[in-house]
Structure 1
């Protein structure tokens, strides 16, 4: 079994006005939206599933860091991540790195990083750094923390997190990877097996310590779900087949296809371009041009963009049938 190494270090950080602060006693502080913020009370607890929770407050606002394990290493924040950060402001507005921004307000996703730099088993304390951006529940407000530090925060006595041994985590990962690698992306089991592999990697990351970031690098390549709910797994929206769906953007609207519910910007949601109603939008190609409708902004190839075939101007191209033949205009080139 591999054990955690205790790393002795002095925490030094810079804040506004160039003040250099060296921590000699427990502390939690950072910059909130560019302004110095310091907790006057703080504590560390473990929740019911063994996740470490570090909380600090200045009597008006509260920062909470939910860390998936007690192990030296980096813990990324953002949608779908195993760790997350929260903030409660003076108006009782809650912010979280698990909240999506309102697309009309901001399209930058929540993100951040918590790093555990020292786990002092002798004194039973934890130290590290953090930064993050988070959104309110409605996605209309945001808060940003930078240069965050937690130093020698006491851990509960007589309690501990559910930490898997490194050997067990590595064994679990080998099994999960084999199952994942043998599952085609078109299989109904792909999402479940991919997520199982991702969780096994997270367990390994927590138990073995991802010192060089190699485990996180693998995690970042896994697209297990249908992130935009358009009926196509994100991994299958990698049109150029380079293994990276983040650089595929058919309509050039600034949103990669795997995060865009209208991939061709023709006013029809991708999930609604399943003309033959077989549950697969990728095999519908009305004009036979080799481009499926969900990626084709002129579905019938008549030279008129689908979005412009809304004859009654009600915002719905599916109910316009100018010649009354039962085929909506956007699918009718006659």
Structure 2
């Protein structure tokens, strides 16, 4: 049975092992393994991403304290790599709180903390305390610092930002991203859109990483959420559910919404292939069979221009002008372009005279025995009846008003 080594950080008073800790102004010192360690040189630097490093150097040895925000507060080391304490000994060996202890090593208490007590913006100095237990790369050897103090350490590189990001900022951002993510997977949605889900998921992961960076993650709960989000791709089961719903809406679509529903169905079929695969080619065959187009741009989808239902669009020519309906922008040859023929609020054609032929297929729209083309429906001949004759001035043009 492997013997566990118990490493304990003993936090002693400011005076330990007979060495008096003296305040210099500025100063950087602490008890290394219960013996006073005092830096001969000290400095602070701020990187371009706003991270602060406070360094103390004693000949070949050095201590580096790193935190991700230029704000006063307590930063627990060891939970994330952006909050760390490193010690480099005289032989160049680095001991870091980012190195995890070997599984044979038990820790008590946690790896330590860095406390920024004061940031003097005028003099650009930093004051605070630290304690930490750091390991070498093997995770078996450690160095502990207690009673660490840095006092008025000067900033020599970078600038103190006016509005530094804080843990509170990171928490708010993570909460907002969580709300957006929840909305993207809500059970109230008809579809879980893969692109929208991927964006919301990626944003949530980024916000959680930011929260880790600025707040730490002692319990690992944030990392667990990140891991559970995976690659931010919806599951195959959800992709299939999307297709099922899209197909249902597609087969019940009307002229007014067909192209939207067809495009939607196509989108989710393509998603299904991308997410689930299509080994037997069945999904691709469905895609190939779809016709979401409107070749003559008359607002009547091609799929609705096959009146005899034989699957051949070429032999449907309502007005007999030699141009099949799917290529004819005036299907009934009444001089009014199909796109301008009467429709309801949903974009579906209507039958003004109730004779069973919708207006775009009826060359006598009002059923008064006078062909629409002979009722001055389009005096300027541009196919748009916005200038149609209205003899009685009642707001209804003659070609839509029975005699």
TM-score (norm 2): 0.43
In the TM superposition, what are the counterparts of 1:213-252 in structure 2 within 5 Å? 220=219, 222-225=221-224
Partner of residue 149, structure 1: 149
Contact 1:33–1:143 (Cα < 8 Å) also in 2: yes
Q: 1:169 to 1:191 in 2, by over 3 A?
A: closer
Cα distance in structure 1, aligned partners of 2:107 and 2:166 = 36
Cα distance in structure 2, aligned partners of 1:103 and 1:196 = 30
Cα distance in structure 2, aligned partners of 1:196 and 1:46 = 22
Q: 1:191 to 1:147 in 2, by over 3 A?
A: farther
Cα distance in structure 2, aligned partners of 1:166 and 1:143 = 29
Measure how far apart 1:98 and its partner are: 0.5
Give the secondary structure class of the aligned counterpart of 1:138.
coil
In the TM superposition, what are the counterparts of 1:83-162 in structure 2 within 5 Å? 83-104=83-104, 106-108=105-107, 111-156=111-156, 159-160=159-160
Contact 2:27–2:150 (Cα < 8 Å) also in 1: yes
Measure how far apart 1:170 and its partner are: 6.4
Cα distance in structure 1, aligned partners of 2:171 and 2:34 = 41
Give the secondary structure class of the aligned counterpart of 1:37.
strand
What are the Cα deviations for residues 272-324 of structure 1, in whole angstroms up to 9, with x where unaligned? xxxxxxxxxxxxxxxxxxxxxxxxxxxxxxxxxxxxxxxxxxxxxxxxxxxxx
- Relative to its length, the structure with more helix (as a share) is 2
Measure how far apart 1:156 and its partner are: 3.0
Contact 2:77–2:113 (Cα < 8 Å) also in 1: yes
Measure how far apart 1:83 and its partner are: 0.8
Give the secondary structure class of the aligned counterpart of 2:156.
coil
Measure how far apart 1:34 and its partner are: 1.1
Contact 2:127–2:150 (Cα < 8 Å) also in 1: yes
Q: 1:95 to 1:172 in 2, by over 3 A?
A: same
Cα distance in structure 2, aligned partners of 1:20 and 1:68 = 32
Q: 1:32 to 1:180 in 2, by over 3 A?
A: farther
Measure how far apart 1:32 and its partner are: 0.6
Measure how far apart 1:81 and its partner are: 4.6
What are the Cα deviations for residues 233-273 of structure 1, in whole angstroms up to 9, with x where unaligned? 69xxxxxxxxxxxxxxxxxxxxxxxxxxxxxxxxxxxxxxx
Give the secondary structure class of the aligned counterpart of 2:76.
strand
Partner of residue 31, structure 1: 31
Partner of residue 198, structure 1: 208
What are the Cα deviations for residues 140-199 of structure 1, in whole angstroms up to 9, with x where unaligned? 210101110100001136623582389965652431232466799xxx989967644434
Q: 1:77 to 1:168 in 2, by over 3 A?
A: closer
Partner of residue 41, structure 2: 41
**Bigger mean CA offset, 18-27 vs 107-116:** 18-27
Cα distance in structure 1, aligned partners of 2:114 and 2:37 = 17
Cα distance in structure 2, aligned partners of 1:149 and 1:166 = 23
Partner of residue 163, structure 1: 164
Cα distance in structure 2, aligned partners of 1:177 and 1:233 = 14
Contact 1:194–1:224 (Cα < 8 Å) also in 2: no
Q: 1:77 to 1:67 in 2, by over 3 A?
A: same
Cα distance in structure 1, aligned partners of 2:75 and 2:68 = 8
What are the Cα deviations for residues 180-222 of structure 1, in whole angstroms up to 9, with x where unaligned? 66799xxx9899676444345457xx6xxxxxxxx77x97472
Cα distance in structure 2, aligned partners of 1:150 and 1:43 = 10
> In terms of Rg, which structure is larger?
2
Cα root mean square deviation, aligned: 3.9
Q: 1:170 to 1:64 in 2, by over 3 A?
A: closer
Contact 2:167–2:211 (Cα < 8 Å) also in 1: no
Cα distance in structure 1, aligned partners of 2:184 and 2:19 = 55
Please list every run of 5 or more consecutive structure 2 residues that lacks an aligned counterpart in the other structure. 1-12, 186-196, 230-403
Cα distance in structure 2, aligned partners of 1:193 and 1:96 = 30
Contact 2:28–2:38 (Cα < 8 Å) also in 1: yes
Contact 2:174–2:211 (Cα < 8 Å) also in 1: yes
